[in-house]
Amino acid sequence: MGTTQLESVPEPKYWHLKTVLGEALDTDFSVGEILPNERELAARFGVARATLRQALEQLELEGRLQRRRGVGTTVAPPRVGVDVSTTQAQWPGSGEEAWNPVDCTLVVPPAAVARLLDPDRGADEPVHTVRRLRMTHGQAVAAEQLYVPARSVPDLTAIDAPSGAARARGVLRELQRLTLEGQDRAVELGSARADDAKELDRLPGAPVLLVTTRYLTDGRTAAVSVATYRADTCRLTFGDAGDFGIAS
């Protein structure tokens, strides 16, 4: 009989679909090219649209596709490598990175952040919160929330604006007067909060890489940064040489 081999453990349709589509992307499409719409693709493969979408979601997770509502699905360029190494410890805002201060307000930090800050700080005590965006090629790739307890910037004058980018720069300037003793960093998977998603041009809940940094000075935590990187377009790089990586 001319039947193909029966799979003893058949793989799911969407998984097989993902493989087929992935190969087609390599051979039949070039970066930026737009794919047929979901309804047509589903019909072409003989599956329900939901099943097709499951395959597309995986490919998007792996950074191979980019989908935009009202526009279509396009072939994504390779992920950009963004350097997040900590070879020489330095304060945020020094050494001219690609970070762009946006705003600064006083907020009560979330519990998870409060745990990392000075333990003998009042639990509900607000801290300075600097908001920054990391730009690459005109695109925002990361949004950061930097939490700075008042005691870390005692000389912050009232001359600076009470909020806004000017005050953000003021807080960073004051931070740099402290002696940085070290920093810790952690990377984990998360989903974009509504405000981050908006600035990163993604939908809420989009997968992101959370980079948490603790700045240490004088035996205590002087500041905590939580940076939200687009997981679809970014590859975080550490170390000396830099530009490389593996697409899944």
Q: Which residues of the shown chain bind DNA in the complex (CB under 7 A)?
A: 9-10, 12-15, 35, 37-40, 46-51, 53-54, 67-73, 203, 205
The least distance separating DNA from the CB of residue 129, rounded to whole angstroms, comes to 26
Sign of CA dihedral 195, 201, 204, 209: negative
- Judged by beta carbon distances under 5 to 8 A according to partner kind, the member of DNA, its own copies, none in contact with residue 185 is its own copies
- Please name the residues in contact with 206: beta carbons below 8 A apart, sequence gap of 6 or more: 191, 192, 197, 200, 230, 231, 232
Rounded to a whole number, what is the distance in angstroms from the first to the last CA of the chain?
Answer: 37
Q: Phi and psi for 105 in degrees, rounded to 5?
A: -140, 175
Between 79 and 128, name the residue whose CB sits nearer to its own copies: 79
Note whether 176 and 215 are within 8 A (CB): no
The least distance separating DNA from the CB of residue 158, rounded to whole angstroms, comes to 39
Judged by CB under 8 A, does residue 245 bind its own copies? yes
Judged by CB under 8 A, does residue 187 bind its own copies? yes
Judged by CB under 8 A, does residue 232 bind its own copies? yes
Binding segment for its own copies (CB under 8 A), chosen from 32-40, 158-166, 167-175, 180-188, is: 180-188
Between 189 and 246, name the residue whose CB sits nearer to DNA: 189
Note whether 187 and 127 are within 8 A (CB): no
By rule CB under 8 A, what string of x and - marks binding of each residue 76-115 to its own copies?
---x-x----x-------------------------xx-x
Q: What CA–CA distance (Å, rounded) separates 190 from 143?
A: 13
Judged by CB under 8 A, does residue 235 bind its own copies? yes
The least distance separating DNA from the CB of residue 80, rounded to whole angstroms, comes to 21
Sign of CA dihedral 189, 171, 222, 109: negative
By rule CB under 8 A, what string of x and - marks binding of each residue 2-41 to its own copies?
---------x---x--x-----------------------
Closest to 14 measured CA to CA, from 39, 46, 62: 46
- Please name the residues in contact with 197: beta carbons below 8 A apart, sequence gap of 6 or more: 203, 204, 205, 206
The least distance separating DNA from the CB of residue 132, rounded to whole angstroms, comes to 24
Judged by CB under 8 A, does residue 63 bind its own copies? yes
- Judged by beta carbon distances under 5 to 8 A according to partner kind, the member of DNA, its own copies, none in contact with residue 112 is its own copies
CB neighbour burial string for 50-70, b if at least 16 within 10 angstroms, e if fewer: ebbbbbbebbbebbbbbbeee
Q: Site residues (CB under 8 A) for its own copies?
A: 11, 15, 18, 58, 61-63, 79, 81, 86, 112-113, 115-116, 182-191, 194, 204-205, 207-210, 212, 214, 216, 226, 231-232, 234-242, 244-248
